[in-house]
Amino acid sequence: MGEVRLEVYSGAKAGAAGVTRAMARTLARHNIRANNVAIAAINTPGIRARRTADPEAAKKMMEHYVIRRLGESDDVANMVLMLCSDGSGWITGQTIPVNGGYSFAL
């Protein structure tokens, strides 16, 4: 997304997407797929502590998510499992957002 005061983090996310595309091109001839799962806030102990410490900021944060909840580890794991399965055999070089509608891919 390119968030304010998160320039380095945003650059790293963009870099990960670029590396994924390059790896996909390089490895495809070996029948190896490369994809990137881009996650947003996941309901971890650290995130829970931050939300408890500042309920107003937590409420404001949730306004950015179309699905009005934080992600759970299972949300990410399920996407990774799908990408590891034969059901995604023709998917490579993609950055797939698992983010509750925080942003949308083309």
> What tokens appear for 55 in the block?
């309920």
* 9 catalytically annotated: yes
Provide the CA 46 distance to its chain's centre, in angstroms. Answer: 18
Nearest to 76 by CA among 48, 34, 41: 41
Catalytic residue among 7, 9, 18, 77: 9
Backbone angles phi, psi at 39, to 5 degrees: -105, 160
Looking at residue 2, the DSSP 8-state letter turns out to be -
d(CA 44, CA 85): 26
The residues that are catalytic are: 9
